[in-house]
Structure 1
């Protein structure tokens, strides 16, 4: 007579044999991981308008007066805009917000919606294919439409413009106040840039023509957008991420992934600006290039060369975002043209307490907080800054609600680490 224990052993062996047969027939490759081979080129195909930045390490320093010599930090791979966000790109955002408000709040015409009422009783869904055919709606010459949209509009001279108090974008994000408090909140942000920012920044200069034309005229389509606050820049990144995931990613290899868009952290920004594909490189970029016509050196960065000297680099103010040559990563104008917002809150000693892996210092100040808590890191130097501000390690700041004619931004999107030659499986 068999003991109960032996019966259980024999039963387990029979079950194991059965499972092995099933495994071989239905999922034979489940436990057969392939050997690692280097991804060709070591980088992923980027989304439109972006470049892939592989993982790497930089020396991350604090402010010059903080007394901190810095520390090495590592960044995982990410995508970053190859150029600063342009007027044309930001106008598309403004028009999208304006069209949404026009259709939903003022026109309220069923022809602009996919269905008259959604199943759960929530708000109706806009038929963007139909709306985009007549976008921007606020510029319509149809008197019946214009009359309904009057609360959205203001007159600037003889021209209609959008009312900044009406055209606002609402989005949700994880609000962070250091390590003290984290909660999801919904925020509404006016999206219109400060078009008269040129005269406000330079009150004793004759810049009214830039006030009137820089953002709105098509001749400035590919110039960097300015007059945008940090809060507006973050709203744009939220919108762009949603738009790209809805219209581009669904047909790409990135479909199905949860990927986030944001402003670059200052560590990401510095790493991308240095453009060091080989960590042994010591030169991040050159300010001079050779003129092919006469063989002489000429400036290759848009900045202030000296007191009252702005134009030797080819422009008195900003330049189109793809002026000059890109760096080793394929990124344009990480030095000069416009300074750029980053995601980080500003602290002179941030390097002392941020992580050494994907460091970022997050602090979303409340309206009632002091301006010192609303400071955000600005990097890169601009058309009105001297050469010292162009160094990739130089840190500056502005408060999150202040726009300027010399600050723009670009977006980043999370990416994946690709196996390189370093991690390729080899024989010992």
Structure 2
């Protein structure tokens, strides 16, 4: 074979090899080997929120405190989160109390097989409660069955002629990551009595003849959709733990959030301020005021529940609290971030906290030990309440209460972690 023929053969082999390599890369490309994964939506929209919550997108606010004179604050950014559209209601909190009471009744006093799941094979750990069965007869402590009443007697106390739960028995146990400044964080277990202080009205206002509020506010169905009060910071945190577990156990199995690990908590004060500063719809309100226009008669009326002046409580439509969906929501769809009840936040209180916390999702965490001084147990309260004047309703106003102290003018709401929705700004030409 001459040299020209050999050269032609070599060129043919090189060409074939090149075509094979090209085909291989083409196959990879056709299988999306080099493609970035498609995003479900570049629409800058909102994630569907869990029941009773709204989606708050990521954003930036000027973070400052009205208590710090001359403080110009600083810009901080917050990632997206879900927040309750209303304050936690009496009805919602009663569900928590009854769940705890049912758990204790089944496991500590009744110990009846009908209330437990059947376990095949070797049993591991504690028996699991059959909640489908329990919920059919819940709350067990209110049962009219004499045998059940007799066995649950240690859970019951008499308040006049009314049977009530024993706060020393009805306690919720949960674990959390304890934080104490620069000390190493560790998981600890806390046990919290969950019953609110029902006579908190008379304790806060001892000379105001509020016995009827004490007797009815938490228990009567006419107050179902009013904000729960008489709850400490520790009780509020226990509720958020329970609610998160309940939601994960029921909703997440069949939702777009299935498989994700999401956390419930009290809002940080930065989250609270950001959510509170959603502006009211100018079509419904008079700019610069706390008024709205009555659609029936065209007159101005107050659109927030607070103390209008010395001895003046009722011009906003109520003397005390109002139902949690009173008035109009802000731009995020959240009700009563100002007035009605002030709200617990997750943060420990420090006058200078805003100066040294992070500029991304800031929070000041400190879990005091029982023997610590009250100065270490102070938690930030935001929003003002039905008994506060207008100055307390400013979104920048910070107050504090120690974590074991309940009041008739402090409630709370929950937040849940969320994912950030890509916006049109991050869209590439390819999409």
Of 201, 205, 214, which residue of structure 2 is paired with 1:202?
205
Which of the numbers 242, 246, 253 marks the counterpart of 1:243?
246
**TM-score, scaled to structure 1:** 0.91
Equivalence for 1:317 = 320
Q: What SS does the corresponding residue of 1:264 show, helix, strand or coil?
A: coil
Which has the higher Rg, Structure 1 or Structure 2?
2
User: What are the Cα deviations for residues 104-157 of structure 1, in whole angstroms up to 9, with x where unaligned?
Assistant: 000000110002688354110000000000000000000000000000000011
| Alignment partner, residue 331 of structure 2 | 328
- The separation in 2 between residues aligned to 1:23 and 1:218, in whole angstroms, is 68
Q: How does 1:274-353 map to 2 (within 5 A)?
A: 274-275=277-278, 286-353=289-356
Q: Which blocks of at least 5 consecutive residues in structure 1 are unaligned? A: 1-13
- Which residue number corresponds to residue 408 of structure 1? 411
Contact 2:347 2:379 in 1 (8 A): yes
Q: How does 1:250-261 map to 2 (within 5 A)?
A: 250-261=253-264
Q: Measure, in 2, the Cα distance between the counterparts of 1:322 and 1:374.
A: 31
Q: Cα offset for 1:310?
A: 0.2
* Cα pair distance change 1:64/1:114, threshold 3 Å: same
Residue 247 of structure 2 aligns to a residue in which SS?
A: helix
The correspondence of residues 175-186 of structure 1 with structure 2, limited to 5 A, is 175-186=178-189
Residues 74 and 357 of structure 1 are in contact (CA less than 8 Å); yes or no, is this contact kept in structure 2? yes
The CA deviation at 1:286 is 4.9
Q: 1:39: how far off?
A: 3.7
Number of residue equivalences = 408
CA change 1:26–1:59 in 2 (3 A) is closer
What's the counterpart of residue 144 of structure 2?
141
Q: Please provide the CA RMSD for this pair.
A: 2.4
Pair 1:193 & 2:176 matched? no
Instruction: Tell whether the 8 Å contact from 1:176 to 1:363 is kept in structure 2 after alignment.
Output: yes
Deviation of 1:64 after TM superposition, in Å, equals: 2.1
1:279-335 deviation line (CA, Å, top 9, x unaligned): xxxx99851000112211110000000000000000000000000000000000000
Please tell me whether the aligned partners of residues 53 and 83 of structure 2 are also in contact (alpha carbons under 8 angstroms). yes
* 1:286–1:300 Cα contact (<8 Å) kept: no
- 8 Å Cα contact 1:78-1:412 kept in structure 2: yes
For 2:117 and 2:268, the matched residues in 1 are separated by: 38
Q: Secondary structure at the match of 2:185?
A: strand
Q: CA deviation at 1:26?
A: 11
1:59-74 maps to which residues of 2 (within 5 A)?
59-65=62-68, 67-74=70-77
Deviations 1:200-231 (A, max 9, x none): 00011110000000000000000000000000
> Deviations along 1:63-90, whole A, 9 cap, x unmatched?
5236532100000000000000000000
Distance 1:311 1:51 in 2: 30
Closer, same or farther in 2 for the Cα pair 1:236/1:27, shift >3 Å?
A: farther
Structure 1 outlier segments of 4+, above 4 Å: 20-23, 34-38, 283-286
> In the alignment, which residue of structure 2 is the partner of 1:226?
229
Matched, 1:128 2:131: yes
* Cα pair 2:61 2:76 within 8 Å, conserved: yes
| Greater Cα shift, 395-404 or 172-181 | 172-181
> Are the equivalent residues in 2 in contact too, given 1:266–1:344 (CA < 8 A)?
yes
- The residue that corresponds to 1:4 in the other structure is none
Unpaired runs of at least 5, structure 2: 1-16
